[in-house]
Structure 1
Amino acid sequence: MDDKRAVSVSKFLSMVLRHKPETIGVVLDEGGWLDVDVLIAACAGRGRRFSRADLDHVVATNNKQRFAFSADGRRIRASQGHSVAVELGLTPAAPPDVLYHGTAAATVPLILREGLKPMGRQQVHLSADRETAVRVGSRHGRPAVLEVAAAALAGAGHTFWVSANGVWLTDAVPPERLRIAVD
Protein backbone atom coordinates (compact mmCIF):
# COMPACT_ATOMS: atom_id res chain seq x y z
CA MET A 1 0.00 0.00 0.00
CA ASP A 2 1.52 3.32 -1.02
CA ASP A 3 1.53 6.35 1.28
CA LYS A 4 -1.14 8.25 -0.66
CA ARG A 5 -3.59 5.34 -0.44
CA ALA A 6 -2.78 4.78 3.24
CA VAL A 7 -3.60 8.43 4.00
CA SER A 8 -6.85 8.17 2.04
CA VAL A 9 -7.92 5.02 3.89
CA SER A 10 -6.90 6.58 7.23
CA LYS A 11 -8.98 9.70 6.60
CA PHE A 12 -11.97 7.59 5.58
CA LEU A 13 -11.61 5.42 8.69
CA SER A 14 -11.42 8.56 10.86
CA MET A 15 -14.70 9.75 9.42
CA VAL A 16 -16.38 6.37 9.90
CA LEU A 17 -14.95 5.39 13.30
CA ARG A 18 -15.07 8.86 14.88
CA HIS A 19 -17.96 10.72 13.31
CA LYS A 20 -20.23 9.03 10.78
CA PRO A 21 -20.44 5.23 10.98
CA GLU A 22 -23.84 5.46 9.29
CA THR A 23 -22.14 6.45 6.01
CA ILE A 24 -21.24 2.78 5.55
CA GLY A 25 -24.35 1.45 7.31
CA VAL A 26 -22.76 0.32 10.57
CA VAL A 27 -23.22 1.09 14.26
CA LEU A 28 -20.31 1.25 16.70
CA ASP A 29 -20.76 -0.52 20.03
CA GLU A 30 -20.82 1.50 23.26
CA GLY A 31 -17.00 1.46 23.42
CA GLY A 32 -16.61 2.63 19.83
CA TRP A 33 -15.60 -0.82 18.59
CA LEU A 34 -16.54 -2.35 15.24
CA ASP A 35 -15.85 -5.88 14.01
CA VAL A 36 -13.00 -5.71 11.47
CA ASP A 37 -14.72 -8.05 8.99
CA VAL A 38 -17.90 -5.97 9.19
CA LEU A 39 -15.87 -2.79 8.60
CA ILE A 40 -14.07 -4.19 5.56
CA ALA A 41 -17.28 -5.57 4.03
CA ALA A 42 -19.29 -2.39 4.70
CA CYS A 43 -16.56 -0.20 3.21
CA ALA A 44 -16.34 -2.43 0.14
CA GLY A 45 -20.11 -2.17 -0.21
CA ARG A 46 -19.67 1.62 -0.46
CA GLY A 47 -16.85 1.38 -3.01
CA ARG A 48 -13.97 1.78 -0.52
CA ARG A 49 -12.13 -1.52 -0.91
CA PHE A 50 -9.14 -2.50 1.21
CA SER A 51 -7.85 -5.76 2.64
CA ARG A 52 -7.12 -6.79 6.21
CA ALA A 53 -3.42 -6.41 5.37
CA ASP A 54 -4.11 -2.85 4.17
CA LEU A 55 -5.98 -2.11 7.40
CA ASP A 56 -3.13 -3.57 9.48
CA HIS A 57 -0.71 -1.31 7.58
CA VAL A 58 -2.82 1.82 8.17
CA VAL A 59 -3.18 1.11 11.89
CA ALA A 60 0.53 0.30 12.32
CA THR A 61 1.89 3.24 10.33
CA ASN A 62 -0.52 6.05 11.20
CA ASN A 63 1.78 8.70 12.64
CA LYS A 64 -0.88 9.79 15.13
CA GLN A 65 -1.84 6.22 16.08
CA ARG A 66 -5.48 7.17 15.64
CA PHE A 67 -6.76 3.58 15.60
CA ALA A 68 -6.42 0.55 17.83
CA PHE A 69 -7.29 -3.10 17.51
CA SER A 70 -8.85 -5.04 20.37
CA ALA A 71 -6.55 -7.47 22.19
CA ASP A 72 -7.77 -10.34 19.99
CA GLY A 73 -7.41 -8.26 16.80
CA ARG A 74 -11.01 -8.81 15.76
CA ARG A 75 -12.32 -5.31 16.43
CA ILE A 76 -11.09 -1.80 15.69
CA ARG A 77 -11.88 1.66 17.01
CA ALA A 78 -10.60 5.21 16.93
CA SER A 79 -8.43 5.98 19.96
CA GLN A 80 -10.14 9.34 20.61
CA GLY A 81 -11.75 12.28 18.82
CA HIS A 82 -15.29 10.95 18.56
CA SER A 83 -18.23 13.18 17.86
CA VAL A 84 -20.55 10.18 18.22
CA ALA A 85 -21.29 9.03 21.75
CA VAL A 86 -18.89 6.32 22.88
CA GLU A 87 -17.40 5.33 26.22
CA LEU A 88 -13.73 4.55 25.69
CA GLY A 89 -13.39 3.03 29.16
CA LEU A 90 -10.28 5.06 29.96
CA THR A 91 -9.09 5.24 33.54
CA PRO A 92 -8.71 8.73 35.02
CA ALA A 93 -5.06 9.76 35.14
CA ALA A 94 -3.08 12.42 36.98
CA PRO A 95 -1.84 14.90 34.39
CA PRO A 96 1.53 16.62 34.40
CA ASP A 97 1.69 20.20 35.68
CA VAL A 98 1.26 21.62 32.18
CA LEU A 99 -0.39 20.31 29.03
CA TYR A 100 -0.70 22.10 25.70
CA HIS A 101 -3.45 22.89 23.23
CA GLY A 102 -2.68 23.74 19.63
CA THR A 103 -5.12 25.92 17.73
CA ALA A 104 -5.29 28.55 15.03
CA ALA A 105 -3.97 31.93 16.19
CA ALA A 106 -7.25 33.55 15.13
CA THR A 107 -9.18 31.56 17.77
CA VAL A 108 -7.00 32.52 20.74
CA PRO A 109 -8.95 35.64 21.84
CA LEU A 110 -12.22 33.68 21.99
CA ILE A 111 -10.59 30.76 23.82
CA LEU A 112 -9.02 33.09 26.37
CA ARG A 113 -12.48 34.57 27.02
CA GLU A 114 -14.52 31.36 27.07
CA GLY A 115 -12.04 28.57 27.76
CA LEU A 116 -11.57 25.34 25.87
CA LYS A 117 -14.70 23.40 25.01
CA PRO A 118 -15.07 20.07 23.26
CA MET A 119 -16.93 21.70 20.38
CA GLY A 120 -18.12 18.80 18.19
CA ARG A 121 -16.12 16.18 20.07
CA GLN A 122 -16.71 14.50 23.39
CA GLN A 123 -13.70 16.01 25.16
CA VAL A 124 -11.05 18.68 24.78
CA HIS A 125 -7.80 17.30 23.33
CA LEU A 126 -4.47 18.26 24.91
CA SER A 127 -0.88 17.39 24.10
CA ALA A 128 1.90 16.44 26.47
CA ASP A 129 4.43 18.51 24.53
CA ARG A 130 4.54 21.85 22.79
CA GLU A 131 5.81 20.44 19.47
CA THR A 132 2.74 18.24 19.05
CA ALA A 133 0.49 21.17 19.88
CA VAL A 134 2.21 23.26 17.19
CA ARG A 135 1.54 20.51 14.63
CA VAL A 136 -2.11 20.31 15.70
CA GLY A 137 -2.53 24.07 15.51
CA SER A 138 -0.89 24.17 12.08
CA ARG A 139 -3.78 22.16 10.64
CA HIS A 140 -6.03 25.17 11.20
CA GLY A 141 -3.86 28.02 9.91
CA ARG A 142 -1.13 29.98 11.66
CA PRO A 143 -0.62 28.00 14.87
CA ALA A 144 -0.83 29.20 18.44
CA VAL A 145 -0.13 27.13 21.52
CA LEU A 146 -1.89 27.51 24.84
CA GLU A 147 -0.53 26.19 28.13
CA VAL A 148 -3.08 24.45 30.32
CA ALA A 149 -2.53 24.38 34.09
CA ALA A 150 -3.49 20.71 34.13
CA ALA A 151 -2.35 19.70 37.62
CA ALA A 152 -4.14 22.71 39.10
CA LEU A 153 -7.31 21.75 37.22
CA ALA A 154 -7.05 18.17 38.44
CA GLY A 155 -6.57 19.49 41.98
CA ALA A 156 -9.78 21.49 41.54
CA GLY A 157 -11.70 18.33 40.65
CA HIS A 158 -11.41 18.15 36.85
CA THR A 159 -10.91 14.64 35.49
CA PHE A 160 -8.24 13.82 32.92
CA TRP A 161 -7.77 10.72 30.81
CA VAL A 162 -5.01 9.73 28.43
CA SER A 163 -5.99 7.87 25.25
CA ALA A 164 -4.20 4.88 23.77
CA ASN A 165 -2.21 7.19 21.49
CA GLY A 166 -1.11 9.61 24.24
CA VAL A 167 -3.68 12.37 23.73
CA TRP A 168 -4.82 13.88 27.02
CA LEU A 169 -8.57 14.42 27.36
CA THR A 170 -10.71 16.48 29.71
CA ASP A 171 -14.26 17.81 29.54
CA ALA A 172 -13.39 21.53 29.43
CA VAL A 173 -10.72 24.03 30.48
CA PRO A 174 -11.83 27.34 32.01
CA PRO A 175 -10.07 30.48 30.76
CA GLU A 176 -8.34 31.17 34.07
CA ARG A 177 -6.34 27.94 33.63
CA LEU A 178 -5.00 29.00 30.20
CA ARG A 179 -2.15 31.17 29.00
CA ILE A 180 -0.40 31.69 25.71
CA ALA A 181 2.75 29.59 25.51
CA VAL A 182 5.90 31.55 24.79
CA ASP A 183 9.27 30.27 23.59
Structure 2
Amino acid sequence: MLSDKETTHISKFLSLVLRHKPETIGITLNENGWTSVALLLEKMNHEGKVIDLDILKFIVETNTKKRFAFNEDFSQIRASQGHSLNIELGYEPKQPPALLFHGTAVQNVAAILEHGLIKGKRHHVHLSTSTDTAKNVGSRYGKPVLLDIQAGQMHKDGYKFFISENNVWLTDNVPAHYITVIED
Protein backbone atom coordinates (compact mmCIF):
# COMPACT_ATOMS: atom_id res chain seq x y z
CA MET A 1 0.00 0.00 0.00
CA LEU A 2 1.39 3.46 0.86
CA SER A 3 4.04 4.57 3.30
CA ASP A 4 2.93 6.61 6.32
CA LYS A 5 4.49 9.69 4.70
CA GLU A 6 2.55 9.16 1.44
CA THR A 7 -0.69 8.52 3.34
CA THR A 8 -0.24 11.72 5.35
CA HIS A 9 0.57 13.71 2.21
CA ILE A 10 -2.57 12.50 0.42
CA SER A 11 -4.70 13.03 3.53
CA LYS A 12 -3.52 16.64 3.80
CA PHE A 13 -4.23 17.15 0.11
CA LEU A 14 -7.74 15.73 0.57
CA SER A 15 -8.26 18.15 3.46
CA LEU A 16 -7.27 21.02 1.20
CA VAL A 17 -9.61 20.11 -1.65
CA LEU A 18 -12.54 18.75 0.39
CA ARG A 19 -12.51 21.46 3.09
CA HIS A 20 -11.07 24.60 1.61
CA LYS A 21 -10.07 24.77 -2.07
CA PRO A 22 -11.76 22.24 -4.37
CA GLU A 23 -10.85 24.47 -7.30
CA THR A 24 -7.20 23.47 -6.74
CA ILE A 25 -7.90 20.40 -8.87
CA GLY A 26 -11.02 21.57 -10.66
CA ILE A 27 -13.74 19.86 -8.64
CA THR A 28 -16.84 21.31 -7.03
CA LEU A 29 -18.61 20.38 -3.82
CA ASN A 30 -22.38 20.31 -3.59
CA GLU A 31 -24.25 22.26 -0.89
CA ASN A 32 -23.58 19.44 1.59
CA GLY A 33 -19.88 19.15 0.78
CA TRP A 34 -20.08 15.98 -1.33
CA THR A 35 -18.19 15.42 -4.57
CA SER A 36 -17.94 12.52 -6.98
CA VAL A 37 -15.31 9.95 -6.04
CA ALA A 38 -14.70 9.13 -9.72
CA LEU A 39 -14.11 12.79 -10.54
CA LEU A 40 -11.92 13.31 -7.47
CA LEU A 41 -9.73 10.34 -8.42
CA GLU A 42 -9.53 11.49 -12.04
CA LYS A 43 -8.51 15.03 -11.07
CA MET A 44 -6.04 13.85 -8.40
CA ASN A 45 -4.39 11.48 -10.87
CA HIS A 46 -4.19 14.30 -13.41
CA GLU A 47 -2.39 16.39 -10.75
CA GLY A 48 0.16 13.61 -10.15
CA LYS A 49 -1.44 12.24 -6.99
CA VAL A 50 -1.87 8.76 -8.39
CA ILE A 51 -4.36 6.80 -6.29
CA ASP A 52 -7.29 4.48 -6.92
CA LEU A 53 -10.49 3.72 -5.03
CA ASP A 54 -8.83 1.11 -2.82
CA ILE A 55 -6.15 3.58 -1.73
CA LEU A 56 -8.78 6.27 -1.14
CA LYS A 57 -10.81 3.84 1.00
CA PHE A 58 -7.65 2.96 2.95
CA ILE A 59 -6.92 6.65 3.62
CA VAL A 60 -10.49 7.35 4.73
CA GLU A 61 -10.59 4.26 6.99
CA THR A 62 -7.16 4.77 8.58
CA ASN A 63 -7.21 8.55 9.02
CA THR A 64 -6.69 8.97 12.74
CA LYS A 65 -9.01 11.98 12.88
CA LYS A 66 -11.66 10.35 10.65
CA ARG A 67 -11.84 13.57 8.64
CA PHE A 68 -13.54 12.08 5.58
CA ALA A 69 -16.68 10.08 4.87
CA PHE A 70 -18.12 8.17 1.94
CA ASN A 71 -21.78 7.84 1.11
CA GLU A 72 -23.26 4.33 1.26
CA ASP A 73 -22.20 3.21 -2.22
CA PHE A 74 -18.77 4.92 -2.20
CA SER A 75 -19.73 7.13 -5.15
CA GLN A 76 -19.43 10.37 -3.13
CA ILE A 77 -16.95 11.67 -0.55
CA ARG A 78 -16.78 14.69 1.74
CA ALA A 79 -14.91 16.09 4.71
CA SER A 80 -16.78 15.54 7.98
CA GLN A 81 -16.15 19.06 9.32
CA GLY A 82 -13.63 21.90 9.26
CA HIS A 83 -14.75 23.58 6.03
CA SER A 84 -13.90 27.18 5.28
CA LEU A 85 -16.40 27.01 2.40
CA ASN A 86 -20.13 27.64 2.66
CA ILE A 87 -21.28 24.05 3.26
CA GLU A 88 -24.38 22.77 5.05
CA LEU A 89 -23.40 19.44 6.56
CA GLY A 90 -26.95 18.66 7.66
CA TYR A 91 -26.11 17.89 11.28
CA GLU A 92 -29.00 18.10 13.72
CA PRO A 93 -28.57 19.90 17.08
CA LYS A 94 -27.63 17.54 19.93
CA GLN A 95 -27.29 17.88 23.68
CA PRO A 96 -23.57 17.87 24.48
CA PRO A 97 -21.89 16.33 27.50
CA ALA A 98 -21.52 18.65 30.49
CA LEU A 99 -17.84 19.20 29.70
CA LEU A 100 -15.98 19.35 26.42
CA PHE A 101 -12.37 20.25 25.75
CA HIS A 102 -10.43 22.42 23.36
CA GLY A 103 -6.70 22.39 22.80
CA THR A 104 -4.77 25.49 21.84
CA ALA A 105 -1.26 26.85 22.02
CA VAL A 106 -0.10 28.86 25.01
CA GLN A 107 0.23 32.04 22.93
CA ASN A 108 -3.54 31.99 22.19
CA VAL A 109 -4.80 31.68 25.77
CA ALA A 110 -4.97 35.38 26.70
CA ALA A 111 -7.02 36.25 23.60
CA ILE A 112 -9.33 33.27 24.15
CA LEU A 113 -9.94 34.19 27.78
CA GLU A 114 -10.79 37.74 26.66
CA HIS A 115 -12.84 37.04 23.51
CA GLY A 116 -13.82 33.37 23.79
CA LEU A 117 -13.42 30.74 21.08
CA ILE A 118 -14.35 32.14 17.70
CA LYS A 119 -14.83 30.01 14.59
CA GLY A 120 -12.87 32.39 12.38
CA LYS A 121 -12.97 31.27 8.74
CA ARG A 122 -14.41 27.87 9.61
CA HIS A 123 -18.05 26.97 10.10
CA HIS A 124 -17.71 26.00 13.75
CA VAL A 125 -15.48 25.84 16.79
CA HIS A 126 -14.26 22.25 17.24
CA LEU A 127 -14.48 20.59 20.65
CA SER A 128 -13.62 17.14 21.95
CA THR A 129 -14.76 14.74 24.66
CA SER A 130 -11.12 13.65 25.05
CA THR A 131 -8.37 15.62 26.75
CA ASP A 132 -5.80 13.61 24.76
CA THR A 133 -7.37 14.64 21.45
CA ALA A 134 -7.58 18.27 22.56
CA LYS A 135 -3.95 18.20 23.68
CA ASN A 136 -2.87 16.76 20.30
CA VAL A 137 -4.76 19.53 18.49
CA GLY A 138 -3.20 22.20 20.68
CA SER A 139 0.31 20.82 20.21
CA ARG A 140 0.15 21.50 16.46
CA TYR A 141 0.64 25.19 17.20
CA GLY A 142 3.16 25.15 20.04
CA LYS A 143 3.09 24.23 23.72
CA PRO A 144 -0.46 22.90 24.24
CA VAL A 145 -2.93 24.27 26.76
CA LEU A 146 -6.17 22.46 27.55
CA LEU A 147 -9.39 24.39 27.94
CA ASP A 148 -12.43 23.09 29.79
CA ILE A 149 -15.67 24.12 28.07
CA GLN A 150 -18.90 24.23 30.10
CA ALA A 151 -20.90 22.79 27.18
CA GLY A 152 -23.81 21.58 29.30
CA GLN A 153 -24.38 25.06 30.69
CA MET A 154 -23.98 26.61 27.25
CA HIS A 155 -26.67 24.25 25.94
CA LYS A 156 -28.99 25.20 28.82
CA ASP A 157 -28.33 28.84 27.93
CA GLY A 158 -29.50 28.28 24.35
CA TYR A 159 -26.30 27.55 22.43
CA LYS A 160 -26.57 24.86 19.74
CA PHE A 161 -24.17 21.95 19.44
CA PHE A 162 -23.72 19.44 16.66
CA ILE A 163 -21.66 16.29 16.43
CA SER A 164 -19.85 15.38 13.22
CA GLU A 165 -19.56 11.91 11.72
CA ASN A 166 -16.14 11.60 13.33
CA ASN A 167 -17.36 12.62 16.80
CA VAL A 168 -16.08 16.18 16.85
CA TRP A 169 -18.44 18.48 18.72
CA LEU A 170 -19.23 21.69 16.86
CA THR A 171 -20.67 25.01 17.96
CA ASP A 172 -20.69 28.54 16.55
CA ASN A 173 -18.65 30.14 19.34
CA VAL A 174 -17.77 29.73 23.00
CA PRO A 175 -18.00 32.90 25.09
CA ALA A 176 -15.09 33.38 27.48
CA HIS A 177 -17.15 32.89 30.66
CA TYR A 178 -17.73 29.22 29.72
CA ILE A 179 -13.98 28.54 29.44
CA THR A 180 -11.51 27.47 32.15
CA VAL A 181 -7.83 26.75 31.62
CA ILE A 182 -6.94 23.25 32.85
CA GLU A 183 -3.70 23.51 34.79
CA ASP A 184 -1.14 20.72 34.38
Query: How far apart are 1:96 and its partner, in Å?
Result: 0.5
1:41, 1:129 → 2: CA distance? 37
Structure 2: state its 5+ residue gaps: none
What count of residue pairs does the alignment treat as equivalent?
Answer: 183
The one-letter amino acid paired with 2:33 is: G
Q: Distance in 1 between matches of 2:148 and 2:103?
A: 9
Alignment of 1:28-67 (within 5 A): 28-67=29-68
Residue 80 of structure 1 aligns to which amino acid in structure 2?
Q
Q: Measure the CA separation in 2 of the matches of 1:93 and 1:140.
A: 29
> Residue in 2 aligned with 1:5?
6
- The percent of aligned pairs where both chains have the same amino acid is 46
What is the distance in 2 between the residues matched to 1:49 and 1:23?
16
- 1:8, 1:129 → 2: CA distance? 26
Q: TM-score, normalised by structure 1?
A: 0.98
Q: How far does residue 120 in structure 1 lie from its aligned partner after superposition?
A: 1.7
What TM-score results when the alignment is normalised by the length of structure 2?
A: 0.97
RMSD: 0.8
Deviation per CA, 1:71-106: give whole Å up to 9, x if none: 121100001100011111111110001100100011
Residue aligning to 1:126: 127
* Residue matched to 1:24: 25
For residues 78 and 98 of structure 1, the distance between their equivalents in structure 2, rounded to whole angstroms, comes to: 25
SS in 2 for 1:37: helix
Give 1:82's aligned amino acid. Answer: H
Name 2:166's counterpart in structure 1.
165
